[in-house]
Structure 1
Amino acid sequence: MNVLIVHESLFGNTHEIASAIAEGLREGRAPDAGDVRLVHVADAPTVIGDDVDLLLVGGPTHAFSMTRPQTRQDAATKGAAAPRDGIREWIDVVTPRTDLPVVTFDTRIHVKMLPGSAASAAAKALRHRGFDRAERGETFWVQGTSGPLEAGELDRAREWGTTLATRVSHGVG
């Protein structure tokens, strides 16, 4: 079974999490179980091939949701490598597959009672776009706008990837 992980990362934290999830997926599956591909949103396909059995979509939470042009521009003033488009814009153009399981994830500042999540917003946008099986996955915590990741988050992401591998191998996506 093949997994595609599409992610957006401005300061590198979400990329680190996506890579750890990919490692966990690879570790949790049989060697001949298929491919796990990790792509930045700028390189993500707008048509998801029929060979993809699970799609993961992740990005940073900015202003309580997925990034927007203004929040990416603000991040760039703080040293981020901000792409022109993020997962919000990619979701707007990707061709939906109603049967494809999709799980979202995000990174965000660990502040008590702070509302909003890129993972929740992405899952909702993907369902609205026609990915009927999109669901919100995990949030991974960063210490501040530019990071670093909180202690233990890479291990938690790897473990979550292993859990997802088990779901995929049992065909539940």
Structure 2
Amino acid sequence: MYESMFGNTRRIAEAIADGIRLQRPVSLIPVGQADRLPADVDALIIGAPTHAHGLSRPESRAEAVVWAGNEQKHLKLDDAWSDSGVREWLADGSPRSAGWSAPSRRRRSAAPRTPSRSSPRTRA
């Protein structure tokens, strides 16, 4: 299942699905059609864009719609974009109501932070 405003996350989801499809059957479903998820899944992989370092919110999705309307940005909304996203799907208990259980942890990059030019550590 994926959420995508401009198609980038969808394209990554398609590539992952294509790789898995070599070994197992795969259904690729946008979050707006989450009610179509089969009840007998072996694994559920969820992909979502990051908006301001986290899952998208209604406000960030509304801003994306505005950006798509700005011709200078050269953005087009994905055909399957939705007013509701992965954040809302997880928050409303959908995985639990479907009988699924999984660890849900917010993952952050373990990469070290790069000091800014004004940082005292970078001065000679």
The two structures have a TM-score, normalised by structure 2, of 0.66
Q: Structure 2 unaligned runs (5+)?
A: 69-75, 110-124
Contact 1:98 1:132 in 2 (8 A): no
Please tell me whether the aligned partners of residues 8 and 41 of structure 1 are also in contact (alpha carbons under 8 angstroms).
Answer: yes
Indicate yes or no: 2:59 matched with 1:70: yes
State the match for 2:88 in structure 1: 89
Determine if contact 1:68/1:86 at 8 Å carries over to the other structure. yes
Q: Which of 4, 11, 16 is the matching residue for 1:16?
A: 11
The residue that corresponds to 1:44 in the other structure is: 34
Given that 2:29 and 2:37 are in contact with CA atoms closer than 8 Å, whether structure 1 keeps it comes out as no
Say which structure is richer in strand.
1
For residue 43 of structure 1, what is the amino acid of its counterpart? Answer: Q
Whether contact under 8 Å (1:8, 1:15) holds in the other structure is yes
CA contact (8 A) 2:56 2:87 kept: yes
Percent same amino acid among aligned pairs? 36
Partner of 2:102: 132
* Amino acid in structure 2 at the alignment position of 1:54: A
Distance 1:46 1:65, change over 3 A: farther
How far apart are residue 91 of structure 1 and its match? 1.1
| 8 Å Cα contact 1:60-1:67 kept in structure 2 | yes
Q: Deviations over 1:42-90 (max 9, x none)?
A: 00128761x2010001110001100001000111111153521011111
Amino acid at match of 1:76: V
Shift of the 7–46 alpha-carbon distance from structure 1 to 2, 3 Å rule, reads same
Partner of 2:120: none
Letter in 2 for 1:88: R
The structure number with the bigger radius of gyration is: 2
1-structure distance, mates of 2:18, 2:105: 21
Deviation at 1:95, TM superposition (A): 3.7
Q: Matches of residues 109-148 of structure 1 in structure 2 within 5 Å?
A: 131-134=101-104
Q: Which runs of 5+ in 1 are unaligned?
A: 1-5, 101-130, 140-173
